[in-house]
Structure 1
Amino acid sequence: MIIEVTEKDKRERVCREILRSLPDWFGNRESVEEYALGCRELPVWADTDSDKARGFTAFRPTSGCAGEIYVMGVSREHHRKGLGRELFWALYRYAKDEGFKFLTVKTVQMGCYPDYDRTNLFYQSLGFQELETFPTLWDEQNPCQVYIMEVK
């Protein structure tokens, strides 16, 4: 069941727990810590079973009309079971209820790594469209692809 996580410590713990379990996507420990600390102050939704998280997502406003999927992760054993979609729609409903007009998400550009290719296809399947690529935002081996979606 997807719930909004309201306790700051739990937001941080859920983020850290899930991201550390996904080294193919989140292998940089400094980035994991940055995301975990960032989640303390953001709306976070998670799917938990007996207080163990299976997946989560966090929303970050980027302007008065737009926000982003700040971070999202689903434990590998729960991939391809619809959990990522459920988490996304919880975040989407929040963005819509709060009056945001656009959602964005950043990921590694298609064609760089098979795992990230699946990530790109997931966002595209939700209706996100390519907005812009920043070849060196993160580094040359990880060109940043920005996707956008209108919130209707």
Structure 2
Amino acid sequence: MEIVLSAVRPDSPAGLTALRAYAGELAARWPEKAPEPTWSEEFLADDPMALAPPSGVFVVATRGDWVVGCAGLRLEGADVPPGAGEIKRMWVDPTVRGQGLGRRLLAHLTDLAREAGLRRLVLDTAEDLVAARALYVREGFVETEPYNANPYAHHWFTRDLW
């Protein structure tokens, strides 16, 4: 069955399913930084609508009724550099990893950023997300100085779009 990408509100049923899966995986990876059961809900409550229009877009990947990935593009915000969009909440279900969905989500958000007239993309990621960092480099992102104070981030990347 084909995987379909759709823009949804982060607070929609599909959006919340994706964000809960993303937060749950992070909590499992970082039990000392993200103690459950409260961390995931606090994470979701941390400005969930920053990825809703007009300040952003949230894309969910589905295979039938099953949410298998997500990624967001934040178009504005205090720590988003001028003229840039920030990739946020990128996640692919472990059962479909290695099939190109991360690259597809990233390409889709890149297209949306160009359509919005943005000049570059930025993102941050954690030390242990080695496969994600490799994807970003393969897709033309270069490591840069920190642009925010995200306590979970260890690496910051940028990619010029024009």
CA distance in 2, matches of 1:76, 1:117: 14
1:18 pairs with one of 12, 18, 21: 21
CA RMSD of aligned residues (A): 2.8
Identity, in percent, stands at 19
Q: Match of 1:68?
A: 86
> Secondary structure of the equivalent of 2:99?
coil
Q: How many residues align?
A: 144
Change (3 A) 1:7 1:73: closer
Residue 37 of structure 1, CA deviation? 4.9
Residue 34 of structure 1: aligned partner: 46
SS in 2 for 1:137: coil
Quick one: which amino acid aligns to residue 121 of structure 1? Answer: A
CA distance in 1, matches of 2:132, 2:30: 9
Q: 1:57 to 1:143 in 2, by over 3 A?
A: closer
Tell me if 1:137 matches 2:149.
yes
TM-score (structure 1 length as normaliser): 0.78
The residue number in structure 2 matching 1:5 is 8
SS in 2 for 1:148: strand
Moved more, 56-65 or 20-29: 20-29
> What is the letter of the counterpart of residue 53 of structure 1?
V
Higher strand share: 1
Bigger shift: 32-41 or 72-81?
Answer: 32-41
CA offsets per residue over residues 98-134 of structure 1, 9 Å max, x none?
Answer: 100010010124xxx3xx1222111111110011148
Partner of 1:46: 60
Q: Give the drift of 1:18.
A: 2.6
Is the counterpart of residue 119 in structure 1 residue 129 in structure 2?
no
Moved more, 47-56 or 95-104: 47-56
- List runs of 5+ in structure 1 lacking aligned partners: none
Mapped to 1, the partners of 2:132 and 2:66 lie a distance apart of: 23
Q: TM-score by structure 2 length?
A: 0.74
Query: Which moves more between the two structures, 18-27 or 49-58?
Result: 18-27
The residue matched to 1:43 in structure 2 has which SS? strand
Range with bigger deviation, 36-45 or 123-132 = 36-45
**The one of 96, 102, 105 aligned to 1:87:** 105
What displacement does 1:52 show? Answer: 2.2
**Cα distance, 1:88–1:143 mapped onto 2, change above 3 Å:** closer
